[in-house]
Structure 1
Amino acid sequence: MNKVKLLNISIDNISQAEFFEKCKSGVVFTPNVDHLMKLQSDPEFVNTYKDATYKLCDSKILFFISRFLGTPIKEKISGSDLFPAFYQYHKDNEDIKIFLLGARVGVALKAQEKINAQVGRTMIVGAHSPSFGFEKNEEECAKIIELINQSGATVLAVGVGAPKQENFISKYKDQFTNIKIFLAIGATIDFEAGNIKRAPKWISEIGMEWLYRLLAEPKRLWKRYLVHGPSFFWLILKQKLNFYVDPFNSDYSEPYKGVTREEMG
């Protein structure tokens, strides 16, 4: 697939329709500005991202940035848009059975009920809200894996925030016996349950969903948008001017020139 380089990752330049046609298995991440900033300082997250089969543009800001860099991305495919489109696309596909992992107690179950009512069948075969810090508890993780394996699910949608959800998928993906597709979907379970309202579509389309979410959850999101945001645009300017250096590409001292690590040898 054609890919677009943004800082130290390559995003798949693919439309949502093309993705649905191609994706029969694999790990799906949806990078946004927050992910890209974490990828500048978190080596575990960088290694996790290498496991992704698909990296889809989650952000209208990244969509606009790709044009600024001269390598336009076809379409924004945010996790919160992708997931409902995914289950509607597969509503008559009996092989698609989804397990929801994430959100607060009761929220995932509410999302399960709503989605199953929409598609007219038991597509969501299980839902679980893990404890805070579950990813550090091997015993709890083992119980979660067993629960998912017993559910018969073929798709695992994890919504516990980045980088926790991506790291969990990367670490345990080989222990799931039936799962073919792994989706990291952020706050989407809350949206599906009606627990959190999404920004109106027109706000999302002009690249201002971040402001809507900041105003809705200022204590949780102020650092992400008000601290990391300006730093991100500075890094993008450096990439535009060919002075961005991948912080984890320590074998190369030359400034980033728009080529992949493989191309650099």
Structure 2
Amino acid sequence: MPQILGVSVDALTMDDLHRIIGKIVSNDEKAIIANHNLHSLYIYHHDARMREFYKLAKYAHIDGMPIVFLGQRLGFQLERRHRVTYVDWIRPLMKEAVQNHWRVFFLGSKPGVGEKAAELLSSEFPGLKIHTHHGYFDITPESVENQSILEQIRRVNPHLLLVGMGMPRQERWILENLNDISANVILPAGACMDYVAGVVPTPPRWMGQVGLEWLYRLFSEPKRLWRRYLIEPWFILRLFLKELVGNRAHRQE
């Protein structure tokens, strides 16, 4: 498990993740499969609760080509195929769900968005068993709304629970409710259903492969994302340069 800029990541391909999920479900286990991108790296170093969340995650795959590039520069054996982002993964994952008869629950997005995305995915993958609930509710663990949602999840008893409420809100919700969540595999999934539903434009896939997807997203949602893409990377750059210099000094000793 590489340690990149102070965080642990797993070099996993999409096929690796499908095998891991299948094993967790077959063994009737419960596990968090988290992910890391530059935004999560920044939050990780500024939020103790986020660090606590990642300690509980069984795996943390790479969701961001910049992490692959930075890891390569630091000497890790990472390839493009080790970057698995939900924009590319959601449909193959739903295909796996149909083939393996996995029940899916999506919690997140604005009211109506998850339902629309679920309808589109169900039309693409007949037989998909998917339930949804929006992410605009009082996430206080003891609140009536939160307890009602946990009960809905218990009734469905999903094999896959995708939580798409943005970082770090989705991770905090998982962390605070983990003992009461009835699901085998818990996946913080960000805006995946927003892309499926078409409420957020999907970046051209070639941009993701060359590490420029952030630029498309910045121009698409400048008011929401300007800080993430124009301010936070400077902190990441300092971490990278510090680690790079430290590695070189260590090799020279």
Q: Which of the residues 73, 90, 96 maps onto 2:97?
A: 90
Which residue does 1:191 correspond to in 2? 195
Which residue does 1:36 correspond to in 2? 41
1:58 aligns with 2:63: yes
1:194 Cα deviation (Å)? Answer: 1.7
Whole-angstrom CA distance in 1 between matches of 2:89 and 2:128: 19
Which residue does 2:52 correspond to in 1? 47
The SS at the match of 1:35 is helix
Amino acid at match of 1:60: M
Which residue does 1:72 correspond to in 2? 77
The 5-angstrom pairing of residues 90-239 of structure 1 reads 90-94=97-101, 96-124=102-130, 126-131=131-136, 134-136=138-140, 138-139=142-143, 140-177=145-182, 179-239=183-243
List alignment gaps of at least 5 residues for structure 1.
244-254, 259-265
Amino acid at match of 1:193: A
Whole-angstrom CA distance in 2 between matches of 1:14 and 1:80: 16
Whole-angstrom CA distance in 1 between matches of 2:8 and 2:104: 27
Aligned length: 240
Which residue does 2:27 correspond to in 1? none
1:163 Cα deviation (Å)? Answer: 0.9
Amino acid at match of 2:146: C
Any conservation in 1 of the 2:53–2:171 contact (CA below 8 Å)? yes
The SS at the match of 2:207 is helix
The SS at the match of 1:158 is strand
TM-score, normalised relative to structure 2: 0.89
List alignment gaps of at least 5 residues for structure 2.
25-30
Q: Quick one: percent identity of the two aligned structures?
A: 28
1:82 Cα deviation (Å)? Answer: 2.4
Any conservation in 1 of the 2:33–2:58 contact (CA below 8 Å)? yes
The SS at the match of 1:162 is coil
1:203 Cα deviation (Å)? Answer: 0.9
* Superposed CA offset, 1:169-195 (max 9, x none): 122122123x10111110101011121
The SS at the match of 1:138 is coil
Whole-angstrom CA distance in 2 between matches of 1:222 and 1:136: 28
Whole-angstrom CA distance in 1 between matches of 2:110 and 2:229: 23
Whole-angstrom CA distance in 2 between matches of 1:90 and 1:128: 19
Q: Which of the residues 2, 7, 12 maps onto 1:4?
A: 2
Whole-angstrom CA distance in 1 between matches of 2:115 and 2:224: 24
1:109 Cα deviation (Å)? Answer: 0.5
Q: Which of the residues 19, 22, 25 maps onto 1:21?
A: 19
Whole-angstrom CA distance in 2 between matches of 1:101 and 1:5: 30
Whole-angstrom CA distance in 1 between matches of 2:177 and 2:108: 16
Whole-angstrom CA distance in 2 between matches of 1:22 and 1:40: 28
TM-score, normalised relative to structure 1: 0.85
Whole-angstrom CA distance in 2 between matches of 1:38 and 1:172: 20
Which residue does 1:263 correspond to in 2? none
Any conservation in 2 of the 1:4–1:73 contact (CA below 8 Å)? no
Whole-angstrom CA distance in 1 between matches of 2:114 and 2:233: 30
1:137 Cα deviation (Å)? Answer: 5.8
Please, which moves more after superposition, 107-116 or 146-155?
146-155
1:116 Cα deviation (Å)? Answer: 1.1
* Superposed CA offset, 1:25-63 (max 9, x none): 321111100000111111111111111111010001111
Any conservation in 2 of the 1:108–1:193 contact (CA below 8 Å)? yes
Amino acid at match of 2:241: L
